[in-house]
Structure 1
Amino acid sequence: MEKLVRLVAASGLCIAAVGPAIAAPFEFAPAPQTDLNRVYRIDKATGEVGACQFQLKEGGVGMTICFAAGEGAGPQAPSDYQLVPSRHEREGGIFRVNIRTGEMSVCYVFDDKVVCTPQAK
């Protein structure tokens, strides 16, 4: 019985150790603009931001268009980042927030890349 208790306890420790490793590394949020079908993606650890949207293709099935990280949207100092859409119905951008430091920047698509303003408090 004692051997079984040790085995169950060890299994619990292994599962607990794996838990954080399988946590979702990305967060997704829509642009607040009501007539824009864009979704932003953020790497929660690095703050890197990208975006994708649907685009109709003439005479056929539509396609997904994605925008890579451009100026200011690449990896930042390691921390905990989130995306926060504003409530402005005509705003195509989104806020990138660092929940450890309180810094924010605004990210949006410009010239086929996602760009972000410098972080500020």
Structure 2
Amino acid sequence: MDIQKIQQNETTVAVINSEECLITDTQSALDLIMTVKYETGCERIAINKEAIIEDFFILSTCLAGEIIQKFINYGVKFAIYGDYSKYTSKPLKDFIYESNHGKDLFFVEDESTAIEKLSSVC
């Protein structure tokens, strides 16, 4: 796992780029949150989509809700960056749309957009 600290708009974002799947369940999400907070002090995390188990994007598994709740409970805002064009599920598309209009979770196409979103929310 590669963690970089990026400073933008007086905010520090931890950017994670990993070839391996880092978030597979709620415990691994919590472990990631704590690792990032301990190693970087950041409460904003951008992570590549490939580092998250594919079941996260199947809303009927309820995994997304459980994982997102961990991030919110620990006060961490996060963005998942990658290509979402392969997904055809209307509920997932609606979920992504609603998340992107909030302030805690963003689904974006690239790392720079993730950093921009995370550094511009309160």
TM-score band, normalised by shorter chain: under 0.3
Flag the structure with more relative contact order, 1 or 2, with Cα contacts below 8 A and sequence separation at least 6. Answer: 2
TM-score (norm 2): 0.24
Structure 1 or 2: more helix by fraction: 2
TM-score (norm 1): 0.24
Q: Larger C-alpha radius of gyration, 1 or 2?
A: 1
